[in-house]
Structure 1
Amino acid sequence: MNTIQPSSSAPIHTSPAPSVSSRSISLTNRTGRPKGSLRGALVSSIGEPRIIYYESGLEKKALLCLLARPDVREVREQQPRVAYVDAQGTLRHHTFDFEVHTSNGEVIAVAVRPFERAKKKFFFDELAWIAAQLSTGVADRIVLITERELPRDLIHNAELIHAARLDPDQSADFAAREALTTLDGPIRVGDLVKRAGNHGRSFRAIVRLIAAGTLVVKQVGRINHTTFVESPMALRSIA
Structure 2
Amino acid sequence: MYDETPYQPPLRSRATRSFAARSKSSVRGFLFAHLRAQARPRQIIYESNLERRVLLTFLARRDLVDIWDQPTAIPFATPSGTLRHHTPDFLAFLETGLRLAIAVKPQASVERLRFRDELAQVRGAMSPAYADELLLITDADLNDADVRNAELLHIARQTVDLGAIQTIRTVLADLKGARTFAEVLEQSGLAERGWAALICALPDGTHIFFNRHGRFLHMAEIGG
The answer to whether the superposition gives a TM-score over 0.5 is: yes
**1:121 correspondence with 2:113:** yes
2:218 to 222, 227, 235: 227
CA RMSD of aligned residues (A): 2.1
Unaligned residue ranges in structure 1 (runs of 5+)? 1-6, 28-33
**Count of matched residue positions in the alignment of Structure 1 and Structure 2:** 220
Tell me the distance in 2 between the aligned counterparts of 1:213 and 1:85. 46
Q: Is the 8 A contact 1:25 1:53 kept in 2?
A: no
Q: 2:163 is paired with a residue of what secondary structure?
A: helix
Counterpart position of 2:156: 164
Pick from 13, 20, 24: which aligns with 2:14? 20
Alignment of 1:31-46 (within 5 A): 34-36=22-24, 37-46=26-35
- Report the residue type matching 1:116 in the other structure: A
Whether the 8 Å CA contact 1:45–1:162 is kept in 2: the answer is: no
Q: Is 2:146 the counterpart of 1:154?
A: yes
TM-score, L = length of structure 1:
0.83
The range that moved more, 39-48 or 141-150, is 39-48
Query: 1:123-173, CA deviations, whole angstroms, 9 ceiling, x for partnerless residues?
Result: 011111221232110100011111112232122111101001111011211
Q: Would the alpha carbon gap of residues 101 and 201 (structure 1) be closer, same or farther in structure 2, given more than 3 Å must change?
A: same
Counterpart in the other structure of 1:97: 89
CA–CA distance in structure 1, aligned partners of residues 53 and 112 of structure 2:
22
Q: Is 1:71–2:38 an aligned residue pair?
A: no
User: 1:207: which partner in 2?
Assistant: 199
The structure with more radius of gyration: 1
Q: Which moved more, 1:137-146 or 1:64-73?
A: 64-73
Does the C-alpha gap of structure 1 residues 108 and 213 become closer, same or farther in structure 2, counting only changes over 3 Å? farther
Contact 1:209–1:215 (CA under 8 A) maintained in structure 2: no
In 2, Cα distance between equivalents of 1:87 and 1:212: 47
Residues 70-126 of structure 1 deviation map (CA, whole Å, 9 limit, x = unaligned): 121111111110011222332221000000011111110001111011111110111
Q: Residues 175 and 197 of structure 1 are in contact (CA less than 8 Å); yes or no, is this contact kept in structure 2? A: no
Contiguous gaps of at least 5 residues in structure 2: none
Secondary structure at the counterpart of residue 93 of structure 1 = strand
Q: Are the aligned partners of 1:189 and 1:229 in contact in 2 as well (CA < 8 Å)?
A: no
State the SS of the aligned residue for 2:52: helix
Match of 2:169 in 1: 177
Cα distance between partner residues in 1 of 2:133 and 2:214: 30
1:109 corresponds to 2:101: yes
Partner secondary structure for residue 72 of structure 2: coil
Structure 2 Cα separation of the partners of residues 213 and 102 of structure 1: 19
Written as runs of structure 1 = structure 2, the 5 A alignment for 1:40-59 is 40-47=29-36, 48=38, 49-59=41-51
Tell me the CA shift for residue 195 of structure 1: 1.8
Percent identity, aligned pairs only, is: 31
Alignment partner of 1:109: what SS?
Answer: strand
Distance 2:95 2:124 in 1: 25
- Which piece of structure 1 moves more, 59-68 or 106-115? 59-68
